[in-house]
Amino acid sequence: MNNLRHILTVGLMVLSCAATGQILPDVPEGAQVVTLRGIPRYAPAPGDAVTERLAMAKSEYEADADNADNIIWYGRRTAYAGDYRGAIEIFSEGIEKFPDDARMYRHRGHRYISIREFDRAIADLEKAASLIEGTENETEPDGLPNALNIPVSSLHGNVWYHLGLAYYLVQDWDNAYRAYKNGFDAGRNDDNRVSTTHWLYMILQRKGDPEAAARVLNAISADMNVIENMSYHNLCLFYKGELSLDVLLDTDDGGPAAAAIIYGVGNWYYYNGETDRGNSILQSLLESPSWSSFGYIAAEADLTAR
């Protein structure tokens, strides 16, 4: 999709949503999303700890619904419980109340990706990018803390990361590269550097520039201090030839990290000329339950476009 077409598409979508007031697509009752292949997906029941945190966030929101932080956390906790559509509604309320708060657009854009509304995600995240321009970056508190309880992401980094992903999913490689390059520059730790480098590498390969793809891997080394994004770090080391495929695939947790690795490997076979093998690996990912993971969504978008 070229840039002009995409700008026109996003612009028409925004005008249509403004005219109708509809912020969510229609889905079968109880479903969170209809996938790009037309399959309704339903969220599993959340665990007790997730439910308890959501109840606390809801209580704090109800005590002061005009507090931006309360809206953010109520929306985030709602999404962690698997209700992406409910989270979008909460962040939409936040946008009405705080139209200049980049966080509202950043989080709603993220959840539009979850429900496959990529153009709406791009519109929100571009808005967030305009709002953070010229502002000081800030650490984004973790909703699901890592083992060391050290937040590794920032507002600027997350805006650019999710914007890059949204453009990647519509195969707008130039804008995806722009966003991820800004995300790399905004990164303040090795977790951010390995995650953005992984996507930059894949984008450049998909653009047919393997030499430039190899150069971005110069930022990656085996001794980096990675706390959360081990899957992306290992993928980058695999791309560099410093990690074998067998070691890379030695994961069976079935979660987002595994989906990221499976997508990365399938995509690697695809742009290295083994199209059928790459597509087969991506298809195997679509048979997993990880329908909300970024790796799954990317596999779905790729196979739908082919």
- pLDDT per position in the chain (306 positions), as tens? 444 444 444 444 444 444 447 899 999 999 999 999 999 999 999 999 999 999 999 999 999 999 999 999 999 999 999 999 999 999 999 999 999 999 999 999 999 999 999 999 999 999 999 999 999 999 998 877 777 778 789 999 999 999 999 999 999 999 999 999 999 999 889 999 999 999 999 999 999 999 999 999 999 999 999 999 999 999 999 999 999 999 998 865 556 789 999 999 999 999 999 999 999 999 999 999 999 999 999 999 999 998
Helix residue spans in 170-271 (DSSP H)? 173-186, 190-206, 210-216, 230-239, 245-248, 256-271
* Sign for the pseudo-dihedral over CA of 68, 73, 76, 81: negative
* CB burial readout 193-228, b (16+ within 10 A) else e: bbbbbbbbbbbbbbeeeeeebeebbebbeeebebeb
CATH T-level topology, domain 1-139+152-188? 1.25.40
pTM: 0.91
Q: 42 vs 34, 58, 104, 118, 220, CA distance in Å?
A: 9, 22, 24, 19, 38
State the Cα–Cα distance between residues 122 and 129, nearest whole angstrom: 10
Burial of 291 (0-12, 13-18, 19+ CB in 10 A): buried
Give the span between the Cα atoms of 297 and 300, in whole angstroms. 5
Q: What's the rounded Cα separation, in Å, for the pair 182 and 128?
A: 13
Report the alpha-carbon distance of residue 180 to residue 170 in Å, rounded: 15
Angle of the 68-80 helix axis to the 102-114 helix axis, nearest 10 = 10
CA distance 18 to 229: 37
Domain locations along the chain: 1-139+152-188, 244-306
Q: What is the CA radius of gyration of the chain?
A: 19
